[in-house]
Amino acid sequence: MSKKHTVRTLIMLLLLGVMAAAPVYAGSAVVGSVAGSLNATVGGQTLAPNTVIFSGDSLQVKDGAAVIALDNGNRMAFGRETEASFLREANTVEVVLGHGNVSMYQADQRTGLAVKAGEYEIAPSAGYKTLGEVAMLNGVVTVTSKQGALMVSGAGRTLQVAQGKTVTLTTTTARTPAPQTGGSQKLGSSTDELLDVGALAAGVVAAILAGVAISRADDANTSAQNATSAADAAAAAASSASSAAAAADSAALQAATNANLAGCALNTWNTEVYGPGVYPSPYTPPAGYTCP
């Protein structure tokens, strides 16, 4: 199969939201496989489609995105400037989020999903098909549920983030109390638009395309800076050439003046030696010049 056909097939499957996950069995060290990526690495190696992800692997995403297909139709999408590692324990896949953001979609609960962010663990509530996002930056954790509900536990508290709601938590690394609300709670209602697996796939493709656009914008910015530098250099060269031309004109004018003075001196010498009118003047000043 050609590379072009493979890429086309990948995008179509993402848009349709029916990508089959890599076969993973209970107790296996295999977490899943790469469904798509841009500017992402695992262990310093650039990710390629269908690369197998193992428990213990560390993922790093720069200006791009990465999608990991898990078993039973579950998947995770990682956004820009994200670092995370994977753990596989029995029937659960856990992502330890260093910083950045991850979207998780759980279609089937035969394999559990969880995200560890600081001292908090975020997982889909039982009995729900779930789509949620976890982001962590500078010790602040933001959890958003777009479909279903998410359970957040840690720091002696348990929160249920209802569909369409967001909760912000502060980790102990930020040295402030976490979180502001206490006890076991259910937040909000389901007023936001629901997202299904097709929307998730389309969002993933959009994220990858956005990463491409960012990369191209950076390239265009670099090209513009290079063009500006070249224009500045050209302007400096033109200025130097103009100065050199002015200096050459001045030198030429001085040389013409010196030549006229030399010719006039020859006329004076002729008169002094032979007397006035004996011999014609050997030098006639050119137009614009006279003898003193």
| Phi, psi dihedrals of residue 79, rounded to the nearest 5° | -90, -170
Q: How confident is the model at residue 181 (pLDDT cuts 50, 70, 90)?
A: very low
pLDDT recorded at residue 19: 39
Q: In this model, does residue 233 exceed pLDDT 90?
A: no
Q: What is the pLDDT of residues 236-251, one digit of tens each?
A: 777 777 787 777 778 7
Q: Which of 9-18, 45-54, 138-147, 211-220 has the lowest mean pLDDT?
A: 9-18
pLDDT recorded at residue 183: 40
Gap between the Cα atoms of 133 and 156, Å rounded: 22
Q: What is the pLDDT of residues 41-50, one digit of tens each?
A: 998 899 888 8
pLDDT recorded at residue 177: 42
Tell me whether strands 130-137 and 30-42 are parallel, antiparallel or unpaired: unpaired
Gap between the Cα atoms of 149 and 125, Å rounded: 6
Helices 197-274, 3-16: axis angle to 10 degrees equals: 130
- Say which CATH architecture domain 3-214 belongs to: Sandwich (2.60)
Domain boundaries, the chain: 3-214, 233-292
Query: Taking all residues of the chain, what is their mean pLDDT, rounded to a whole number?
Result: 74
pLDDT recorded at residue 141: 92
Q: How confident is the model at residue 11 (pLDDT cuts 50, 70, 90)?
A: very low
Rounded average pLDDT over 9-35: 56
Q: In this model, does residue 190 exceed pLDDT 60?
A: no
User: What percentage of the chain reaches a pLDDT higher than 90?
Assistant: 26
Rounded average pLDDT over 217-224: 63
